[in-house]
């Protein structure tokens, strides 16, 4: 189970308590986040590079094959893993993340964003500017992190303890820099993904979509059926962090998907 930004592996705590007890769950902190190492060099935050970290974990456990679950950037990395070792990925589950080989759908989503002045993407552009994240986030982690969990945090749909854990991890030295690395490598990522147009994920796949997300908008799902050999889409009344807002529901969907 692969987390996104600005979360850590802790985001899966709420989900795993409802998963089938026969499953063995591996939930690492991604490079530069959580309690993982803070690699400074930017090139290591390209998503194909981060996928190699996950593959090394799979190899270290000597797993013949795995189920892969990913949210946000974790969903992108899960896709890179699935493309790199397709025979070892039994099933792939994604949540509120771009589908990297969906050139048409991603282009249509970008047009929607541009029609809104690209305002929902402000935090991405901010972090792409050299030096700004490092100068302005350090010491202000509580304000920074609480902003992204919005109403879900204020209303208790995501627990106070969870948000405090993310604040702790984002206050670790160099995290503003390493977190920004996920966004500063988007140009290199995008060039690679453009070349994936027309490819198809061969394994059974699932996409769980929180329909109140203002960043991963519905247009990202356009043409999704062309990107997978077998894809099921489940829509939930939820915002971006749907796996934390509706952990039991997400777990039930995953249990059903994995057991079939």
- List the structure tokens of 3: 């987390």
Q: 9-259: what fold? A: Rossmann fold (3.40.50)
CB 2 within 8 A of CB 21: no
> Where do the structural domains in the chain lie, given as residue ranges?
9-259
List the pLDDT tens digit at each of the 260 positions of the chain. Answer: 999 999 999 999 999 999 999 999 999 999 999 999 999 999 999 999 999 999 999 999 999 999 999 999 999 999 999 999 999 999 999 999 999 999 999 999 999 999 999 999 999 999 999 999 999 999 999 999 999 998 887 888 899 999 999 999 999 999 999 999 999 999 999 999 999 988 999 999 999 999 999 999 999 999 999 999 999 999 999 999 999 999 999 999 999 999 86
Residue of 91, 93, 89, 58 whose CA lies nearest to 74: 93
Instruction: Report the DSSP pairing between strands 89-95 and 231-236.
Output: unpaired
Cβ burial, residue 83 (10 Å; 0-12/13-18/19+): middle
Which pTM value belongs to this model?
0.97
Q: How many Cβ atoms from other residues are within 10 Å of residue 10's Cβ? A: 19
Q: Which whole-number Å values give the CA distances from 59 to 52, 65, 80, 202, in the listed order?
A: 10, 10, 16, 21
């Amino acid at each position: 189970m692969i987390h996104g930004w600005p979360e850590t592996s802790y985001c899966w705590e709420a989900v795993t308590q409802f998963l089938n007890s026969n499953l063995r769950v591996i939930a690492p902190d991604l490079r530069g986040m959580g309690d993982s190492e803070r690699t400074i060099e930017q090139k290591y935050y390209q998503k194909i590079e981060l996928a190699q970290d996950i593959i090394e974990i799979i190899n270290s456990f000597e797993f013949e094959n795995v189920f892969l679950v990913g949210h946000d950037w974790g969903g992108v990395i899960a896709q890179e893993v699935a493309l790199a070792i397709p025979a070892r990925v039994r099933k792939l589950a994604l949540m509120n993340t771009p589908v990297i080989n969906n050139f048409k759908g991603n282009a249509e989503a970008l047009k929607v964003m541009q029609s809104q002045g690209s305002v929902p993407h402000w935090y991405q552009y901010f972090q792409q500017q050299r030096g700004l994240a490092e100068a302005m986030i350090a010491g202000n982690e509580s304000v920074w992190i609480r902003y992204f969990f919005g109403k879900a945090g204020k209303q208790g749909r995501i627990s106070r303890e969870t948000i405090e854990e993310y604040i702790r991890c984002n206050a670790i030295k160099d995290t503003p820099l390493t977190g920004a690395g996920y966004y500063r490598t988007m140009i290199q990522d995008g060039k690679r993904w453009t070349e994936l147009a027309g490819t198809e994920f061969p394994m059974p796949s699932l996409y769980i979509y929180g329909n109140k997300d203002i960043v991963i908008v519905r247009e990202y799902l356009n043409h999704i059926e062309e990107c997978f050999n077998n894809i099921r889409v489940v829509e939930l009344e939820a915002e971006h962090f749907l796996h934390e807002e509706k952990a039991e529901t997400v777990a039930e969907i995953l249990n059903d998907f994995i057991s079939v």
